[in-house]
Every structure is written in C-alpha cells, then in structure tokens.
Structure 1
Amino acid sequence: MTLRRRFTFFTIFWLIFILILFNIFVYLFVINITLRSEDQLMTNKVNILLEDKRIDKPAGLSDPDLLTDYYNASELMRIVSPEGRVLNTSGSDPQLLALKPVFSVQHDTGMIYIDNRRVLYMKVPLYNGTQVIGTLELYRMLTLLDSYLRVLVIALTVTSVGAIMFAILGTYWFTSRLTSPIQHMVQTMREIDRSGKLRKIELGGKDQSAELLSLARAFNQMIDRLDRTFERQKQFVADASHELKTPLTVISSYAGLLNRWGRDDENVRDEAIEAISKESARLQNLTKSMLMLAEAEQEDWLKLETFDLVHLADETADMLHMTFHRLIRVQAPKTDVRLTADKEKIRQLLVILLDNAIKYSKETIDVTLSVNKGLVRMAVADKGIGIPPEEMPHLFERFFRVDGARRRSTGGVGLGLSIAKRIVDLHDGKIDVFSKPDEGTTITVTLPQKK
C-alpha cells in the first residue's frame, strides 16, 4: 500500500471515529438537556397546581375546571381516588387515556414508551392534612421533542458525511503534494540506477516543507559524497595502475632479458636477478600499502583502548633506532600521557611519520608529546630537505611523493601520509605540516584525549 493511501485511510479513520464520538456526545447532551427542561416544566406545573386551594379538599378534586386551567396539548392530567377511580381528568390523546389509572402514595417520575414514542410521567400523592385523598397523574408526550431530535440526527449525519468527503478530497490533495518530492526522489534514484550517472534532486520552492527540503538536501549531500568517492576510486585505480605498471614492466623486461641471454652471461643474469628482486620488493610494499589504505576506509576500523602514549612512542622510537640506526628523541612534560584511541593505529601513525623523517633527513629526529585542555599534541620534527610550498597542498594525496627527482631512492610509494591522515580523521583529530626547504619539516597531530 502506498504512503498516500495509508495516510488517507489513517486520516479518514480517525476523522470518522472522532465524528462518531462527537455526534454521540451532542445527541446525548441534547437529550439530557431537553429531558431536564421538560421534567422541570412538569415539576413547575405540579407545584402551581398543588397551591390551588381546591385540591386540598376531597370535594374539590372533582371540579372539572381544576385540571382544565393547567392543561396543555399532548398531555394527560387526572386525579385517581384511593379506590382506583378517576375523579377528574383532562386530556384528549386516546393512547394516554388508555393508560390504566394507579393510586399511589409515593412520589414517582420517569419515562415510558408508547408505540416507540416517549412519554414523561409524574405521580404525586394529594393530602388532606395527613391523609392521602388521591393521586395526581401527569403524562406528557415528547412528540415535538422527538421531531427536533430527528432533525438533529439528520443534520449531524449530513454534516458528518460532508466533512468526510471534504477530508477525503483534502487529504488526497495534501498527500499528493506531500509525496510528490518523494516520488521525484524515487524517479531520480531509478534514473541513477538505469543510467549509472549520479544526479541531484532539484530543491523545491518556499511552499515545500522544511522536512522534505532537509531530506532533499541530505540526498544531494549523499550524491556529492558518492561522487567524490567514485572520483577518488577512479583516481586510486588510475594511480595504482600507473604505479604498478613500472615494476611490472621492469620485471617483465628483465625476465625476458634473462630468458634470452641470462643463461650464458653471468653479468646479465646477476643484473636481472637483482632488478627483479628489487622491483618485487617494491611491488610487495606497494600492494601492502594499498591494502592498508583500503582497510582504513572502513568506519569500524578502530578498536579503542586507553594506553600510555609516552611508553608507546618510546617503544616505536627504539624499534626504528635498532632498524635504521638513527637517533630518535622522545620528549614529554611528564612520564604518563593517557590517550583513548586505537593503540596499534597510533603506533602505525608514529611509524609512518618517523619513517618519512628518516627517509628525508640525516640528523636527529625529535618527537614531542604534550597535553592541553583535553587534547594530546604529538609533533615529529626533522632537519631534512623540507617540502616546497607549491607541493604542500598535495601532501596527503594518494601516491604523491615529495622530491620527485629522487623518489625512487627513498623507496616510498606515496601512500604513507594518506594512511596517516585517515587514522587521524577516524580519531576526530587534526594533522598539520610546517616545513621550509632545506631546513626541515614538523608534522603535528592533535587528538582528543578521550574519544
């Protein structure tokens, strides 16, 4: 079932339910008010009649003018003796006259039905001193009131049906305008699925609801993000193809050379084996970095824990010192800097930054750790070749390498800083680079102490 039909059925159902409750309330309220009014009229008439002096004497009960003076149409008034005889009567309705007279010493009021017509009655004992000398019976047919109630029922029915019809048309019109942008979104999605080309939704005018505008903007933002992702994927594939092409070409060329002349020429064989080994290692390193970067794109990449950053930095510095025989100094204002993050990814971040510093410098490398207002600051400084200003904007792009003329000598593939930035972004941190050519480079990472 479509959203339009669901909304229409839901609205009509609740409207009908509310109208039924309202009509029942109005009908019962009118009946209650009118019955109380009619009962009050009968009570007033009886009270006036009881003030007549003739009704206090047994002889006056038979006076024909006693009841005639108070009689109204659609009524029956009569006085019943203790023996059950009718002493006096006033009325013309045959159905009321056919009612059996009953002597009663108790005051009684109520309502009876005669041929589906309502009749109010009141029975009042008549006293002469302390002795009951008769019973005054008063019956009043509610014919006029019932006709008014039938008119009320018809009016309520007509207005309810009209309200329901108006609600159906109004709801259908409103839901058409409400779901039109959604249908436009669905059509855009189907067009994207059919053509494979990303398209944005055109935002409506001022008459469109804020929620739908927000939905359209969110959809367009998603399209922008997908577009950027696809572009990055295309660029990544293009760059990867370019980077993989060189080592594969070298390996293929030397393999052919080895196949043709390497069996007889020892120099050619040694050169080919060395080149193939070197390019295979490069290819292995490139593939490992690409897989690591693809893994870093996952949102659930992090495994958070609380650890001592100073201890981790010391371990990493000692490991790289043993590997490259380079002095790395770790400086911190205190011996314990607690950080809640993914420990292994922070270790990987340090390795990437220190590895770059080792490749592009010859002197001592300094790692400085500090904490300020809940932020952990980590700076890796070297005194190497530096970075030219025109290359700074491209520093974190994939496969981008500084010092392009000597990039083969460094052994890098240009993915380290891209991975480092992804690690920092996933930790809601910030990475900055300060560098001057021939003076050195300082890379500063700022991370929230508690993520």
Structure 2
Amino acid sequence: MTLRSRFTLFTVFWFIFILILYNIFVYFFVIRVTTRGELQLLANKADLVVESLRKHSMRGMEDAKLLSDMYNYSEMMRVVAVGGKVVNAVGIDKELLSIPPSVNPILTSETRHINGQRVIYLSVPLFDQGQLIGVVESARRLTVLDSYLQILVGALSVTSIGAIVFAIFGTYWFTSRLTGPIGQMVQTMREIDRSGKLHRVRLNGREESVELQQLVRAFNQMIERLDRTFERQKQFVADASHELKTPLTVISSYADMLKRWGRDNSEVRDEAIDAIAKETERLQRLTRSMLALAEAEQDDWMNAVRFDVSSVVKELSAVLGKTFGREIRVHSSNNSVQMVGDKEKIRQMLLILIDNAIKYSKEPIDVRIRHDKAGVKLEVTDYGIGIPESEIPYLFERFYRVDEARHRSTGGSGLGLSIAKRIVDLHEGHVEVFSKPGSGTTVAIQFPRHLQAHS
C-alpha cells in the first residue's frame, strides 16, 4: 500500500470516527435540552394547578375549570386523590388517559414509550397540612420533537456523508501534493539509475511546505555533493594518468634505447640506467602519495587522542633540520600545548608543510605554536621564493603545480598539500596561506578548541 493510500485511509478513518462521536453528542444533547424544555412546560402547568388549590385551601379538586385552561391536544392532565381515584382530568388522547394513576409522595418525572412513541410523565404531590391528599399528573407526547429529531438525524447524515466525501477527495489531493516531491525524488533516482547521470529535483517554490522544501534541498545537496565527488574522482584519475604517463614514457624510451644501443655503449647504458632509476623512484613517491590521499578520503581515517603538539613539532623539526642541514626554529607560547587529534596525522601534515618550506627556501624556517581561546594555531613560515597571489586558491587541489619546472626539480607530485588539507578538514580546522613572491610563504592552520572525535 502506498504512503498516499495509507495517509488517506488513516485520516478518513479518524475523521469518520470523530464525526460519529460528534453526531452522537449532538443528537443526545438536543434530546436532553428539548426534553428538559418540554418537562419544564409541564412542571409550570402543574405548579399553577397546585398554586390554585392552595389559594382555596386544597378545595375544588373536582372543579372542571381547574384544568380546562391547561388543556393541550397532545397532553393529558388529571388530579388523582389518595387511593388512586381520578377526580379531575382533561385531554382527548385515550392512550395518555389510560396511563395507570399513581399517588406518590415525591415529585416524579420520567420518559416513557407508548406504542413506540416517547411520552414525558410528571407527578406533583398535593399536601394539606402535611398530609398527602393526592397528586397532579401530567403527560405529553413528544411527537413534534421526535419529528424534529428525525429531521436533525437526516441533516446530520447528509452533512456527514458530504463531509466524508469531501474529506476523502481533499485528503487524497493533499497527500498527492504532500508526496509529490517524494515521487519526484523516486523518479529522479530511477532516472539516475537508468542513465547513470545525476539529476536534481526542482522546487515549486511556495506551493510546497517548509519541510518538503528542506527535504528536496537536502536531496539536491546530496546530489551536488555526489556530483562533485564524481568530478573529483574523474579529475583524479585523469591527473594520475597524466602523472604516471610521463615517467612510464621515460622508462619505456630508455629501455628501448638500451635494447638498441646500450649493450655496446657504456655511456648510453649508464645514462639510461640512471634515468630509469630516477623515474622509478619518482613513480614510487607518486604511488605512496596517491595511496596516502586515498586513505585520507576515508571517513574513519582519524583516531583522536589528546597529545602535546609542541613536543611533536620540536621532535620533527629536529629530525628534519639534521637530515637536510637546515635551521628550523620552533616558537611556542607554552612548553606544552595540548590538543585533541590524530597525533600521527598531525605529524604527517607538519612533515608535508616543513618539507615544502625546505624545498622552496634556503633561509631558516620558523614554526610557531599558539594556544588561545579559539584553539590551537600552527604556522609554518619560510623566506623563499614565495607564491603568486593568483595561485594561492589552487594550492590544495590535487596535482596542482605553481611552476611545473620547479616541481620537476624538487620531485614534487602535487599531492602533498591536498593530503595536508584533508588532515586539517578532518580535524575541523581552517587553513590560510599568506605569500608574496620573493618574500616567502606562511601557512597558518587553526584547530578548534573542542574537536568532535571521529570513530
């Protein structure tokens, strides 16, 4: 069963249930109010009879004028003495007059049924000096009231049926509008599955509810994110193919040259072996970088723990400074700067940034660590050749190179900064680059104070 059918049936069922309860309440409420009104009318007449008898010291109960003024064709009134003898009566309805007389010392009112018709009955006791001397009995048919009730039942039935029909069509129309965007998303998914191309669901503006608009927007955002991911994957494959093509071509060319002339020419053989070794090493570095970047794309890549980032920076700077024979100065606001993150990945990020600074500068390198209210801030500054301002927005793209010749000389693959940026993103951080050609470059990274650990 579709969501539209379920929602329609559920809504109509509860509407009918509530409508039935409402009709029952209205029916019995009208009966109660109107019956009470009819009974009050009989009570008023009986009080007039009792009041008239009291004025005459309870004499004249047999007087025909006592009840003649109270006569109504649908009523019966009579005075019954103690012992059950009817001493005075008015009325032409034989069925009402045939009601057995009863002398009761308390006021009695009730609704009876005579031949399937409702009749209200009232008995008012008569006392003379504290002694019960009789009762005034009244009875009235509710024929007119019952006819009105039949009209009320008919009106309620017609309006209820109309309301149910309206509710069915209205609910079906509403659910059609409600589930329309969902149907569009299902159709879009099927079209994506059929064609292999991503499509977005179009919004109808103010015609849709806020929740549905949010649902459609979330779906479109997901599609856009998938689209960007696919495009990045295509670009990554294209760039990787391009990067792998060059060293493979060099290796293939030198291998072919070895086959032709290298066996007898030592110079050609040595040149080919050296070139093949260099390109093989470059391929290995490129493969390692690609594997690291692929690992960085995994959502569960980070294992967050609390550690001293200052000690990591100092240890790494000492190792790299000794390895490359360069001066790397560490400036820390405190001896110990604690942060929450993946220690090994932060170390990998710092290695990439410091390694880039070493490659593109000959001056000492400054690494600054600060801890403030916003969190932990790391800065790596070199005083080398710098980067043109127009190139800064593209630094963290995969395989991007500011200067192709420069990267060839340094052996860069164009993936290091992409990996570093991914590490920063996983730590919910923010990275900025400040550079000026000929004056050096500063990479500033801000990590938040409270990091949400990834499981």
Match of 1:197 in 2: 197
Q: Per the alignment, in what secondary structure is the counterpart of residue 7 of structure 1? A: helix
Q: Per the alignment, in what secondary structure is the counterpart of residue 305 of structure 2? A: strand
- Name the CA distance, whole Å, in 1 between partners of 2:166 and 2:17: 16
- Name the CA distance, whole Å, in 1 between partners of 2:161 and 2:117: 28
Match of 2:377 in 1: 377
- Is the 2:53–2:61 contact (alpha carbons within 8 Å) kept by the matching residues of 1? no
Listed one character per residue, the Cα deviations across residues 1-58 of structure 1 (whole Å, up to 9, x for unaligned) are 2333233223322322222222122222212211221221122111110012389667
Match of 2:20 in 1: 20
User: If the length of structure 1 is used for normalisation, what is the TM-score?
Assistant: 0.90
Match of 2:234 in 1: 234
- Name the CA distance, whole Å, in 1 between partners of 2:54 and 2:297: 108
Question: Structure 1 residues 104 and 247 mapped into 2: Cα distance closer, same or farther (>3 Å)?
Answer: same
Match of 2:145 in 1: 145
Match of 2:186 in 1: 186
Match of 2:412 in 1: 412
Listed one character per residue, the Cα deviations across residues 291-341 of structure 1 (whole Å, up to 9, x for unaligned) are 211222233333322222211211221232343332211101221222222
Match of 1:7 in 2: 7
Match of 2:123 in 1: 123
Listed one character per residue, the Cα deviations across residues 109-159 of structure 1 (whole Å, up to 9, x for unaligned) are 222222332221122222232322222222222111111111111111111
Q: Does 1:171 align with 2:171?
A: yes
Listed one character per residue, the Cα deviations across residues 266-294 of structure 1 (whole Å, up to 9, x for unaligned) are 76666555444433332222122112112
RMSD (CA atoms): 2.7
Question: Structure 1 residues 116 and 345 mapped into 2: Cα distance closer, same or farther (>3 Å)?
Answer: farther
Match of 1:290 in 2: 290
Match of 1:99 in 2: 99
Task: For residue 205 of structure 1, report the CA deviation from its aligned partner.
Answer: 4.6
- Name the CA distance, whole Å, in 2 between partners of 1:298 and 1:378: 24
- Name the CA distance, whole Å, in 1 between partners of 2:424 and 2:328: 22
Question: Structure 1 residues 106 and 220 mapped into 2: Cα distance closer, same or farther (>3 Å)?
Answer: closer
Amino acid at match of 1:423: I
- Is the 1:124–1:135 contact (alpha carbons within 8 Å) kept by the matching residues of 2? yes
Gaps of 5+ in 1: none
Match of 2:318 in 1: 318
- Name the CA distance, whole Å, in 2 between partners of 1:54 and 1:376: 103
Match of 2:47 in 1: 47
Match of 2:335 in 1: 335
Question: Structure 1 residues 435 and 98 mapped into 2: Cα distance closer, same or farther (>3 Å)?
Answer: same
Task: For residue 391 of structure 1, report the CA deviation from its aligned partner.
Answer: 3.4
- Is the 1:121–1:140 contact (alpha carbons within 8 Å) kept by the matching residues of 2? yes
Judge which range, 154-163 or 128-137, deviates more.
128-137
Question: Structure 1 residues 138 and 369 mapped into 2: Cα distance closer, same or farther (>3 Å)?
Answer: same
Task: For residue 59 of structure 1, report the CA deviation from its aligned partner.
Answer: 6.2
Q: Per the alignment, in what secondary structure is the counterpart of residue 306 of structure 1? A: strand
- Is the 1:121–1:138 contact (alpha carbons within 8 Å) kept by the matching residues of 2? yes
Amino acid at match of 1:109: S
> When the two structures are aligned, how many residues end up with a matched partner?
451
Match of 1:363 in 2: 363
- Name the CA distance, whole Å, in 1 between partners of 2:396 and 2:358: 18
Question: Structure 1 residues 397 and 58 mapped into 2: Cα distance closer, same or farther (>3 Å)?
Answer: closer
- Name the CA distance, whole Å, in 2 between partners of 1:266 and 1:355: 36
- Name the CA distance, whole Å, in 1 between partners of 2:185 and 2:125: 82
Match of 2:77 in 1: 77
Task: For residue 354 of structure 1, report the CA deviation from its aligned partner.
Answer: 0.6
Listed one character per residue, the Cα deviations across residues 426-449 of structure 1 (whole Å, up to 9, x for unaligned) are 323222222233332221112223
Question: Structure 1 residues 131 and 438 mapped into 2: Cα distance closer, same or farther (>3 Å)?
Answer: closer
Q: Per the alignment, in what secondary structure is the counterpart of residue 300 of structure 2? A: coil
Q: Percent identity?
A: 60
- Is the 1:54–1:66 contact (alpha carbons within 8 Å) kept by the matching residues of 2? no
Question: Structure 1 residues 149 and 225 mapped into 2: Cα distance closer, same or farther (>3 Å)?
Answer: same
Gaps of 5+ in 2: none
- Name the CA distance, whole Å, in 1 between partners of 2:358 and 2:296: 24
- Name the CA distance, whole Å, in 2 between partners of 1:66 and 1:386: 123
Task: For residue 104 of structure 1, report the CA deviation from its aligned partner.
Answer: 2.3
Match of 1:428 in 2: 428
Q: Per the alignment, in what secondary structure is the counterpart of residue 165 of structure 1? A: helix
- Name the CA distance, whole Å, in 2 between partners of 1:383 and 1:59: 130
- Name the CA distance, whole Å, in 2 between partners of 1:335 and 1:394: 35
- Name the CA distance, whole Å, in 1 between partners of 2:389 and 2:55: 122
- Is the 1:55–1:61 contact (alpha carbons within 8 Å) kept by the matching residues of 2? no
- Name the CA distance, whole Å, in 1 between partners of 2:42 and 2:143: 15
Match of 1:112 in 2: 112
Task: For residue 82 of structure 1, report the CA deviation from its aligned partner.
Answer: 2.4
- Name the CA distance, whole Å, in 1 between partners of 2:137 and 2:189: 82
